Chain A
């Protein structure tokens, strides 16, 4: 079974609003990563947070990690229509294997 489970599966918001996506996982991790995928394209890395970190920022992105709850969240602030994409969390174990969740489809309406 997949390691990461994302919630919600789909999210539709208006431009300017914030978007929050959640990810839960099952086993211990070395790090957790978030990726973005535009329709018909490969995945693009957004941000990596290590197991000993609790929060990380990159531009309009904010990622939190709670290892006690085995969960993470991705917040996109002041969303834009160009943020429309699928977003995936992925967990990496000590052996270097990266397992993905099923993703959240984000739609940002102008």
Chain B
């Protein structure tokens, strides 16, 4: 199916563990984004990517790593999860006219 999919949708992990959130889009959009959404903070940009092998920091990149070896995939890795990274994570891709299409989100709980 065409669109943007995130996996897993729900994840519980422990402090210090590595977690990878996956994002896949079928449109071949150049730009992709990762946001986190927390009560009282709205959506905050973690990292974004303008094309394969090109990534850049957003507003809150510390503690996260991204890669973009293929245009369609943009995984987000928490190398050593902390409780403050408990959040809902949204992936998005941008079409040429400028608007973003969002996935349904990945809800991460770090115990």
A45 to chain B, nearest CB (A): 4
CA distance A77 to B19 in the complex (A): 44
**A100 to B99 Cα, complex, angstroms:** 13
Number of residue pairs A-B, CB distance < 8 angstroms: 59
What's the minimum C-beta distance from A8 to chain B, rounded to whole angstroms? 14
Given the complex of chains A and B, what is the CA–CA distance between A100 and B92 in angstroms? Answer: 13
Chain B, interface residues (CB within 8 Å), range:
20 to 34
A43 and B58 in contact (CB under 8 A), knowing A88-B43, A97-B48, A102-B42? Answer: no
Q: How far is the CA of A97 from the CA of B33 in the complex (A)?
A: 9
How far is B104's CA from A31's CA once the two chains are assembled, in angstroms?
Answer: 24
Contact residues of B between 49 and 91, Cβ < 8 Å to A? 50, 56, 58-59, 90
Chain B residue with Cβ nearest A96? B31
Using CB atoms, name the residue of chain A closest to B45.
Answer: A99
Which of A52-110 touch B at CB < 8 Å? 88, 90, 92, 95-103
* Residue count of chain A within 8 Å CB distance of chain B: 23
Q: Which of A12-66 contact B (CB under 8 A)?
A: 30-31, 33, 35, 41-45, 48
Bound together, the chains give a CA A48 to CA B97 distance in angstroms of 9
Given contacts A2-B42, A88-B43, contact A33 B58 (CB under 8 A): no
B binding-site residues for A, Cβ under 8 Å:
31, 33, 35, 40-45, 48, 50, 56, 58-59, 90, 92, 94, 97-105
Residue of B nearest to A101 (CB): B42
Contact across chains for A33 and B42 when beta carbons are under 8 A apart: no
Q: Are the C-beta atoms of A96 and B50 separated by less than 8 Å? A: yes
- Chain B residue, CB-CB nearest to A50: B98
Query: B89 CB to closest chain A CB, in angstroms?
Result: 11
Contacts of A42 in B (CB 8 A): 90, 102-105
Residues of chain B within 8 A of A92, CB atoms compared: 98
